[in-house]
A and B are shown apart, each in its own frame.
Chain A
Amino acid sequence: MGFESPAAAGSALKELSALTARARPDEAIGAPLENARLRLLQMIDRMHGLIGEHAAPLLDAARTQLEQRPCRIAVIGQIKAGKSTFINALAERPGFLPADINPWTAVVTSLHFRASHEPPEHAAVFHLFSADEWRQLAEGRGRLRELTERLVPGFQPELLRAQLEVMRRRAEHRLGSKFAELLGTCHRYKSVTHEVLAGYVSAGDDTNQQRIKNGARRHYSDVTRSADLYFSNSPFAYPVTLVDTPGTNDPFLVRDEITRRSLENPDIYVFVISALQPLSTADISMLRLLNGLHKDRIVVFINRADQLANPGVDAAHIKTAVENRLRLEFPALRIPVIYGSAWMGNLRLQADSPNQPAAFKSAHAAALRMAGLPCSNDAAAARLTGSDRSRVAAVMHMSSGMREVSSAITRMMCSSGIAMLLRQIALCLAELVRSAEAGDRVELGAIHERIEARRQESSALRASIAEERQSLASFEARATALQNSFKDIESHFDKLVSSATQMLRHELGNMVREYADHQADSLLVALETDRKLKAWRCDVVPLREQLETAYLTAFQQAAADLAHVERFLYPQLKVIVSSLLPGYTGNLLEVPVWPPGLTPSVAPLSDKVAVDLGTSVWQRWFAVRKAAEERAAQLRTMIEDDFFRIADELVATADAHLKERVDYIMQRVNAIATGLRTGIERRNANLEREQTLLDGTADRQALEQEQKAQAEDCVRNQRAHAAALDELNGVLQVLDAAQGETVLQ
Chain B
Amino acid sequence: MSTNTQIAGRGCLRIAVVGEFNSGKTTLVNALLGAPVLPTGFTSHTAFPTVVGYAPRPRLAAELAHRRRVAIAWERLAEDAPPGIRRLHVGMPLARLESLKVIDTPGLGRSVDGTDYEVLAACRRADAVIWCTPAVQAWKASEERAWLTLPESVRRRGILAVTFLDAVGSAANARRVMARLDAEAGALFRRVVAARAYDDMPLAAALDLPTLAGACRLTA
Bound: A206/B183 CA distance, A: 8
Asked whether, in the complex, the Cβ of B145 is within 8 Å of the Cβ of A277, the reply is no
Candidate in A249, A253, A277, A309 with the most chain B CB atoms within 10 angstroms? A277
Give the chain A neighbours of B167 by CB distance below 8 A: 307
Name the CB-closest residue of B to A276.
Answer: B22
Asked whether, in the complex, the Cβ of B110 is within 8 Å of the Cβ of A280, the reply is yes
B169 CB → nearest A CB, Å: 7
B113 CB → nearest A CB, Å: 4
Name the CB-closest residue of A to B40.
Answer: A309
Known pairs A79-B137, A80-B137, A318-B42; A280 contacts B176 (CB<8 A): no
Q: Scan B174-210; emit 1 where CB is below 8 A from any A CB, else 0.
A: 0011011001110000000000000000000000000
Asked whether, in the complex, the Cβ of B140 is within 8 Å of the Cβ of A251, the reply is yes
Bound: A317/B22 CA distance, A: 14
Bound: A207/B21 CA distance, A: 29
Bound: A205/B173 CA distance, A: 12
Give the chain A neighbours of B184 by CB distance below 8 A: 251-252
Q: List B136-160 residues whose CB lies under 8 Å from chain A.
A: 136-145
Asked whether, in the complex, the Cβ of B134 is within 8 Å of the Cβ of A277, the reply is yes
Known pairs A102-B180, A207-B176, A276-B22; A615 contacts B139 (CB<8 A): no
Q: Which of A81, A207, A615 contacts B137 (CB 8 A)?
A: A81
Asked whether, in the complex, the Cβ of A280 is within 8 Å of the Cβ of B179, the reply is no
B161 CB → nearest A CB, Å: 16
Give the chain B neighbours of A276 by CB distance below 8 A: 22, 134, 136-137, 164
Asked whether, in the complex, the Cβ of A280 is within 8 Å of the Cβ of B177, the reply is no
Asked whether, in the complex, the Cβ of B176 is within 8 Å of the Cβ of A282, the reply is no
Name the CB-closest residue of A to B179.
Answer: A207
B74 at the interface (CB under 8 A from A): no
Residues of A within 8 A of B (CB): 78-81, 101-102, 153-154, 205-207, 249-253, 256, 274, 276-277, 280-282, 284, 304, 307, 309, 314, 317-318, 614-616
B109 at the interface (CB under 8 A from A): yes
A101-B135, A277-B134, A284-B111 given; 19 more Cβ-contact pairs under 8 Å: A79-B137, A80-B137, A101-B173, A205-B176, A205-B179, A207-B176, A207-B179, A207-B183, A251-B185, A276-B136, A276-B137, A277-B22, A280-B20, A280-B142, A282-B109, A309-B41, A314-B42, A317-B43, A318-B42
Asked whether, in the complex, the Cβ of B140 is within 8 Å of the Cβ of A281, the reply is no
Candidate in B109, B138, B140, B184 with the most chain A CB atoms within 10 angstroms? B140
Asked whether, in the complex, the Cβ of B176 is within 8 Å of the Cβ of A281, the reply is no
Give the chain B neighbours of A307 by CB distance below 8 A: 136, 167
Give the chain A neighbours of B141 by CB distance below 8 A: 249-251, 253, 256, 282
Asked whether, in the complex, the Cβ of A282 is within 8 Å of the Cβ of B140, the reply is yes
Asked whether, in the complex, the Cβ of A317 is within 8 Å of the Cβ of B137, the reply is no
Q: Show 30 A/B contacts (Cβ-Cβ < 8 Å), sorted by A.
A: A78-B137, A78-B140, A79-B140, A80-B138, A101-B168, A101-B169, A102-B180, A205-B179, A205-B180, A207-B176, A207-B180, A249-B142, A250-B140, A250-B141, A251-B143, A251-B144, A251-B184, A253-B141, A256-B141, A274-B137, A277-B20, A277-B22, A281-B110, A281-B111, A281-B142, A282-B109, A282-B140, A304-B136, A307-B167, A309-B41
Number of A-B contacts (CB under 8 A): 88
B21 CB → nearest A CB, Å: 6
Name the CB-closest residue of B to A103.
Answer: B180
Asked whether, in the complex, the Cβ of A616 is within 8 Å of the Cβ of B114, the reply is yes
Give the chain B neighbours of A251 by CB distance below 8 A: 139-141, 143-144, 184-185
Name the CB-closest residue of A to B23.
Answer: A277
Bound: A731/B194 CA distance, A: 60
Give the chain A neighbours of B43 by CB distance below 8 A: 317
B73 CB → nearest A CB, Å: 22
Give the chain A neighbours of B176 by CB distance below 8 A: 101-102, 205, 207
Number of B positions contacting A (CB below 8 A): 37
Asked whether, in the complex, the Cβ of B180 is within 8 Å of the Cβ of A616, the reply is no
Bound: A602/B42 CA distance, A: 35
Give the chain B neighbours of A252 by CB distance below 8 A: 184
Bound: A102/B176 CA distance, A: 8
Known pairs A205-B176, A205-B180, A282-B141; A274 contacts B136 (CB<8 A): yes
Give the chain A neighbours of B134 by CB distance below 8 A: 276-277
Give the chain A neighbours of B114 by CB distance below 8 A: 614-616
Name the CB-closest residue of B to A279.
Answer: B110
Q: Which of B110, B140, B164, B177 contacts A249 (CB 8 A)?
A: B140
Query: Which 8 residue pairs across A and B have the least CB separation, nearest first?
Result: A614-B113, A616-B117, A281-B111, A80-B137, A280-B109, A207-B179, A101-B173, A249-B140
Name the CB-closest residue of B to A207.
Answer: B179
Give the chain B neighbours of A284 by CB distance below 8 A: 111
Q: List B81-135 residues whose CB lies under 8 Å from chain A.
A: 109-111, 113-114, 117, 134-135
Give the chain B neighbours of A314 by CB distance below 8 A: 42
Give the chain B neighbours of A102 by CB distance below 8 A: 176-177, 180
Give the chain B neighbours of A274 by CB distance below 8 A: 136-137
Bound: A249/B176 CA distance, A: 20
Name the CB-closest residue of A to B149.
Answer: A154
Bound: A251/B180 CA distance, A: 12
Bound: A249/B37 CA distance, A: 33
Give the chain B neighbours of A282 by CB distance below 8 A: 109, 140-142
Asked whether, in the complex, the Cβ of A154 is within 8 Å of the Cβ of B137, the reply is no
Q: Which of B21, B139, B183, B185 contacts A280 (CB 8 A)?
A: B21
Q: Scan B61-90; emit 1 where CB is below 8 A from any A CB, else 0.
A: 000000000000000000000000000000
Candidate in B41, B43, B145, B183 with the most chain A CB atoms within 10 angstroms? B145
B167 CB → nearest A CB, Å: 6
Known pairs A80-B137, A251-B144, A251-B184; A101 contacts B109 (CB<8 A): no
Bound: A281/B109 CA distance, A: 5
Bound: A253/B144 CA distance, A: 12
Bound: A252/B140 CA distance, A: 9
B156 CB → nearest A CB, Å: 20
Give the chain B neighbours of A249 by CB distance below 8 A: 140-142
Bound: A444/B164 CA distance, A: 81
